[in-house]
Structure 1
Amino acid sequence: MTSDVTTGSGQEAADFARRTSTGLLQRVEDRLRSLLSAERETWAEVDERAVIPVDALSEMIASGGKRIRPAFAIAGYLAAGGDPEDPGIVAAGAALEMLHLALLIHDDVLDDSSQRRGLPTVHVKHMDVHRSNDWQGEDRRFGEGVAILVGALALAYSDELMSEAPASALPEWHKLRSEVMIGQYADVHAAAEFSVDPRLSRLIAKIKSGRYTIHRPLVVGAKAAGRGDLAPAFAEYGEAVGEAFQLRDDLLDAFGDSADTGKPAGLDFTQHKMTLLLGWAMQRDEHIHTLITEPGHTPDEVRRRLLDTGVPADVEKHIDGLVERGCKAIADAPVDQVWRDELAEMARRVAYRNA
């Protein structure tokens, strides 16, 4: 059975498309949970300690998340006419989410973040375990070591899951994985250097976040359905919407409420992340560099100074332009109108989210 949504009224087709996508996302969720449940059962027979890394991943899955990457892979697959009954797209979606878990866990170590989705991060939780048990060695070193290993386990599981996806999707998967790692390195390097370079900031936003979140998952889905010809249109859409996604992330970090985002506010400031928001602001006000790099200044001072530059408002306008560009890119794509509409709506959802 293929994803034929051209029959019936436009609303009926849209409803069918949405139900199909939702059903596949639920199957992704079930696949993730069943994999981790089976792994827990296997390792519980070995030693009670061996289940701890698996449990850490299960807890992250249970804590929520928007499942943006599987959602875009599924949209790309269905837009390309893929068969919703094929378990391969479910495996691909689960692989993308498992990779995302790995990157979040490692990101939290790199950023020294204490909270993720409203809960203690993996390294912080295990620092506390070490401390409360009065174990040998340094609690920080133990906690970060556990997080590195749990993240590596998620990477292993993501490859295992992707091995069940259509082989046609694998080249894009390999490109996605290496690209996001290089982007992560560039982000760390730029934070240490902390020089004003909006060109580099924009590049990092694209390869570390935008492509990995929107562009590549869409193409993974399309190629899994045998429609590699959709890659150019999805790339143009994904580059624009992916950049809008990252810029929203930058604004949420600077001005968002941690109760909504589930993580500490102002991490980009404390970790000296050279976001496009900060790069543009420091071009207008050199004092912002001092506020961020020298001790004694509060995040609220930085926020006030950023607002005074007018850059946050300019970033909002830039996001508007990116969403418009993404919608135009998909408007002429050789897919059913229902999927053009759905992808346009998805662009708006990720660009204007509040968490």
Structure 2
Amino acid sequence: RRSRLTAPRHSLRGHRTGQLDASMATANLENQLHSAQKNLLFLQREHASTLKGLHAEIRRLQQHCTDLTYELTLKSSEQTGDAPSRSSELQKRCEELEAQLKVQEKENAELLRELEQKSAMTAVLENTIREREKRYLEELKVKSHKLNMLSSELEQRAGTIAYLTSQLHATKRKLLSSSGTSEGSPSGSPVASYKPAPPRDKLPETPRRRMKKSLSAPLHPEFDEVYRLGAESRKLLLREPVDAMPDPTPFLLARESAEMHLVKERPLVIPPIASDRSSSEQHSPAREKQHKVHVGVAHRIHHGASPQAPPEVETLAVDQVNGGKVVRKNSGTDRTV
């Protein structure tokens, strides 16, 4: 019984599903048909508007064509009477234009020739400028090298002059000290025992060294106040540049002279010979720091004197010429160079 009841149920379900599928298919078809009809209606409207615009354009062109035809007929009727004069005018105009064309061609040819000449001159000038620039650079290199060599030689000579000047002053002080000891007033001043150092070899010139030298060199050398003791044990104020170098002319002239004379030195140039009491006190660092004198370019000599020291007689021990014989003063502490 159960199998008999279930069979009709399955058949009813299948029939219902078939009906639903058919109804859905018909609905889809109806929707598609409706959309196709809408699209067709839209296309028809667009086509009608396009045709309307085309017809309007055709009518406008036809009107324009009729107007042009009318104008052409009028012009042709006017030109039939003066056709020979019109042709002669056109021929004259053509001849004038041809003459102008020939003139322009000649001018263009002349301009082209001038352009070629100027381009050739420009090339020659460029080559000349390159050669001159190359020559100028070579000359500049040679001159800069020569300038560097001359500057280095000048610095070496300046150092040599400073060294010789310091030696000259040291020699004069030694001669003064030797003459003082011969008279019975020995001196132990460090000025007499000062030995100037020879000028150092110049280091190779470099751009950094030149820059440092140019930055370190003052534009306006200031003046320092240097106190020296004179022959009467009094302070003398001397104003001189910081890097002032003594004049080496007397030293150079002394080498060329045939005989030497006894010259009294000024107290401003060479300090006096200190006494025994002052020589014992001159080793004090405070007294050495108080009295400083510039000698040459890079040499400093510290000296000092006691205010109680009696004035010393400034003498110079030199060679004396006596009838072709040279007589030299000798003393126990003679340190002449």
Report the TM-score, using the length of structure 2 for normalisation: 0.21
Structure 1 or 2: more strand by fraction: 2
Q: Indicate the structure (1 or 2) with the bigger Cα radius of gyration.
A: 2
Report the TM-score, using the length of structure 1 for normalisation: 0.20
